[in-house]
């Protein structure tokens, strides 16, 4: 199915949208796309930045900040989140759950009509393989890891608010990457360069990922197609499942670093990840470490189990298809690294 034309869903001149989390790769891409489409953009982020649109600084969990950010806008796209493989549960609750609750309340009070909650397929990933499945239901009790559990709870809060007067949709982009990505690409490159990047089970697990421009377009389409999308959770991917080892090798080649040269059993990595995660968390509470741990159980599960999704419903609802293939995305990544 072809994607929408550039003019699809073009707003009227008075349409104003709040985008949270614009300091991240995906949030910035979403804000830039909306700005280019003619929306009047306001961003909410923790630190001060120089943007070509209005910006509010502060925490989304602060009710005063949330109220100030939501005042006078017609729509909200909520991407701000604590994204980490480890950390204190209270920190995930504060940003991901309380922050979402505060922003929902502020948006309703301000008369916002449309609210897009940017979620994650991990809210419905329970440790086993996902093979050609749909979105599935978010489950805070069964989701793996603090990030996924808190996002599942936040998604439930958001979708529970959906109504004809306050329309809410959840968009779940899966493993977003691209030039400037610090969540996946930078970590792969740094560890590969240091010779600390193993494959799990030979990198055979088949996974979906999403190039950042495609993810941004799908999120904006969620807003533009709210008549069709509200009340639903939609998984977004490139729709090109690849063995995880092939994807990692492609990132390494694009960055000009050595590809992984060894493999470890997935069962061993999952067990070791549980131990490392607990030790890392204990050390972090004492101020001994700041970075992400080299392995966690959640990460090991993600690298050793298949997770790819049926995209037919998503593409029909959003009237959208990815414009940039994985191979084209890897070529753009290589250009970013000067290769």
Residues 82-138 pLDDT 10s: 988 777 889 999 999 999 999 999 999 999 999 999 999 989 887 777 878 888 889
Query: Annotated catalytic, 211?
Result: no
Kindly provide the b/e burial profile for residues 205-241, where b requires at least 16 CB atoms within 10 angstroms of the residue's own CB: bbbbbbbbbbbbbbbbbbbbbbeebbebbbbbbbbbb
Looking at every residue in the chain, the average pLDDT score rounds to 86
Phi, psi dihedrals of residue 98, rounded to the nearest 5°: -65, -40
DSSP conformation letters of 44-81: EESS----SSEEEES-TTSHHHHHHHHTT-SEEEE---
Question: Which whole-number Å values give the CA distances from 246 to 198, 214, 259, 303, in the listed order?
Answer: 13, 20, 10, 12
Give the per-residue pLDDT at 133: 81
Work out the percent of the chain whose per-residue pLDDT is above 70. Answer: 84
Report the alpha-carbon distance of residue 320 to residue 221 in Å, rounded.
Answer: 7
Mean pLDDT of 44-61: 86
Give the per-residue pLDDT at 270: 63
**From 92, 146, 147, 280, active-site residue:** 147
Of 29-38, 199-208, 221-230, 231-240, the range with the lowest mean pLDDT is 199-208
What pTM was computed for the model? 0.89
Q: Is 16-174+210-237+308-324 CATH 3.40.50.720? A: yes
Query: How far does CA 251 lie from the centroid of its chain?
Result: 19
């Amino acid at each position: 199915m072809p994607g929408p034309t550039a003019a699809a869903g073009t707003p009227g001149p008075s349409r104003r949208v709040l985008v949270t989390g614009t300091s991240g790769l995906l949030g910035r891409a979403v804000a830039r796309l909306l700005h280019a489409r003619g929306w009047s953009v306001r961003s909410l982020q923790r630190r001060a930045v120089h943007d070509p649109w209005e910006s509010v600084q502060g925490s989304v969990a602060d009710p005063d900040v949330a109220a100030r950010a939501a005042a006078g806008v017609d729509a909200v796209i909520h991407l701000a989140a604590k994204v980490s493989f480890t950390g204190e549960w209270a920190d995930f609750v504060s940003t991901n759950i309380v922050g979402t609750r505060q922003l929902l309340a502020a948006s309703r009070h301000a008369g916002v009509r449309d609210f897009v909650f940017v979620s994650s397929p991990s809210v419905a990933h329970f440790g086993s393989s996902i093979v050609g499945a749909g979105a599935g239901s978010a489950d805070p009790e069964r989701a793996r890891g603090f990030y996924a559990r808190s996002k599942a709870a936040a998604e439930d809060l958001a979708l529970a608010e959906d109504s004809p007067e306050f329309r809410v949709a959840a968009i779940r982009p899966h493993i977003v990457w691209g030039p400037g990505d610090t969540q996946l690409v930078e970590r792969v490159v740094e560890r590969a360069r240091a010779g600390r990047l193993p494959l799990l089970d030979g990198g055979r697990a088949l996974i979906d990922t999403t190039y950042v421009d495609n993810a941004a377009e799908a999120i904006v389409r969620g807003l533009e197609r709210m008549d069709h999308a509200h009340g639903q959770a939609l998984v977004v991917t490139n729709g090109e499942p690849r063995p995880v080892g092939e994807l990692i090798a492609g990132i390494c080649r694009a960055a000009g670093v050595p590809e992984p040269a060894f493999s470890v059993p997935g069962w061993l990595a999952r067990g070791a990840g549980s131990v490392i995660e607990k030790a890392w968390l204990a050390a972090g509470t004492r101020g001994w470490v700041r970075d992400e741990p080299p392995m966690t159980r959640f990460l090991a599960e993600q690298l050793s189990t298949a997770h790819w999704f049926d995209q037919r419903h998503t593409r029909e609802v959003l009237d959208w298809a990815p414009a940039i293939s994985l191979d084209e995305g890897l070529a753009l990544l290589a250009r970013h690294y000067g290769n």
